[in-house]
Amino acid sequence: MEADVDDTRLLGVFESSLAPFATDPAAEAIGAIDNPIGSPPLEELARGKRRAVVILSDHTRPVPSRILVPPMLERLRRGNPGIDITLLVATGCHRPTTRAELVEKLGEEIVANERIAMHVCTDDSAMVDAGFLPSGGRLRLNRLALEADLLVSEGFIEPHFFAGYSGGRKSILPGIAARETVLANHCAEFISSPFARTGILEGNPIHRDMVFAADQARLAFVANAVLAPGKRVVRVFAGAHRAAHEAGCAFLARHCGVDVPEADIAVTSNGGHPLDQNVYQAVKGMTAAEAATRDGGVIVICAACGDGHGGESFHRMLAEAQSPQELLARIASVPKDRTQPDQWEAQILARILSRRRVIVVTRDCDHALLRSMGLEAASSLVEALGMADASAGARSKIAVIPDGVSVVVRRRAG
């Protein structure tokens, strides 16, 4: 999407420095899997094991599963030709992934020939107790994963708006956790923590729970990609879940931090398909613009949101609120063990709306639905900037962050 902005108003276009890195994605994946960080190779891990579970990302994540999963399966069977393998789709609390979406992610051959199971967070019969989280919440995880002799996962690492970074331990919590476990981890107290922010792991209570859950599940091996804008594979980090994830996060921290002067208007996106398919997911990109703008500023986010709001309870909380401030106060009073589904996303969006205007640029989502949630809507970027200027002023300063979910915004003076 394009719009003309006067040079005197433009503070800059802020992107990660990952783009210059060039790799052969398949070669990068194979090299990382064959030279794991802090772990024996997959072939060695597979020896003597009867059942292996490979955790897959779901349809909301742009994980390059086509290049990660085939070599993982091949190495497992190379080490143990008779090993029984199940692919478990980590939906978290999302809807089940469709067969068509699985084919798009994995290719027809894998979908047709491998055993694939779908995690359903509300299916109590599919869950097993695994103790209690450091936060005190009950840890219940998918039975297939806990009863496997070997548990591995694929995924990707990017800045995450409350877990610090995605990837690694997130394939377990929330990926294959029971709803009650996800709710405990995503409680109002943790979401409001100043450490539950993009790019922060140290002191982050949500991250701490997630690492504990991965340890309890005996997650033995991960293969996580780092993607540049355009969803191009830059690097793959594979090996022990803690060591490989930490290495990937350190790499990202060096290349995705951007120093942005305080802006009146910030223009961003949710990185395009598949992450911009609904409003629920688009909140992630909004947080980058939130960090770049002054109180009272305007966020313009380009996100198709073709699937609508993305969560009925999420939509209802925003639509029924008297104001963002009222909703924040109400959520803050909810005890940890009474967290509601999608409460965290409503909490973060309410936080943003309490201090910013948000204009969503889309032709694929009902504008009336967006307005019912306290958002504004435009059909083009040009229209949205005109709306933003009406309140911020024709001389207001604009920061452009093309892919809001790919950066860690650091505010700088001037």
Q: 139 and 63 share a domain? A: yes
pLDDT band at 224 (very low <50, low <70, confident <90, very high): very high
In a domain, 248, yes or no: yes
Q: Tell me which of 255, 278, 308 is where a domain ends.
A: 255
Q: 125 and 250 share a domain? A: yes
346, 288 contact by CB (below 8 A) = no
Place of tokens 């699985």: 102
CATH no. for residue 285?
3.90.226.30
16, 251 contact by CB (below 8 A) = no
Mean pLDDT confidence for 136-143: 96
Q: 140 and 283 share a domain? A: no
Mean pLDDT confidence for 50-63: 94
pLDDT band at 413 (very low <50, low <70, confident <90, very high): low
Mean pLDDT confidence for 178-205: 95
β strands within 171-328, DSSP E: 219-228, 232-239, 257-261, 263-269, 293-302
In a domain, 272, yes or no: yes
Q: Tell me which of 237, 255, 273 is where a domain ends.
A: 255
Q: Tell me which of 255, 288, 315 is where a domain ends.
A: 255
In a domain, 174, yes or no: yes
Strand partners, 376: 359
* pLDDT at residue number 273: 87
pLDDT tens per residue across span 396-410:
999 999 999 989 998
pLDDT band at 196 (very low <50, low <70, confident <90, very high): very high
One-letter amino acid identity for 18? L
Q: For residue 204, what are the domain limits?
A: 25-255
Report if pTM > 0.85. yes
Q: 270 and 224 share a domain? A: no
42, 75 contact by CB (below 8 A) = yes
CA 137 to chain centroid, in Å, comes to 22
Mean pLDDT confidence for 179-187: 94
Q: 310 and 389 share a domain? A: yes
Q: 227 and 292 share a domain? A: no
Mean pLDDT confidence for 109-133: 97
CA distances from residue 15 to 19, 288, 380, 408 in whole angstroms, order as listed = 9, 11, 22, 10
* pLDDT at residue number 63: 93
pLDDT band at 314 (very low <50, low <70, confident <90, very high): very high
Q: 52 and 172 share a domain? A: yes
Q: 188 and 44 share a domain? A: yes
In a domain, 20, yes or no: no
Active site residues: 94, 160
Q: 184 and 323 share a domain? A: no
Number of domains in the chain: 2
- Evaluate if residue 232 carries a pLDDT over 90: no
* pLDDT at residue number 341: 86
In a domain, 3, yes or no: no
Q: 88 and 220 share a domain? A: yes
Percentage, residues of the chain above pLDDT 90: 90
Mean pLDDT confidence for 351-358: 98
In a domain, 220, yes or no: yes
Q: 135 and 234 share a domain? A: yes
Percentage, residues of the chain above pLDDT 70: 99
pLDDT tens per residue across span 329-340:
999 999 988 999
CATH no. for residue 112?
3.40.50.11440
Q: 233 and 347 share a domain? A: no
pLDDT tens per residue across span 21-43:
767 999 999 999 999 999 999 99
In a domain, 367, yes or no: yes
Strand partners, 138: 132
Sign of the dihedral through C-alpha 302, 305, 308, 314: negative
Mean pLDDT (the chain, rounded): 95
In a domain, 404, yes or no: no
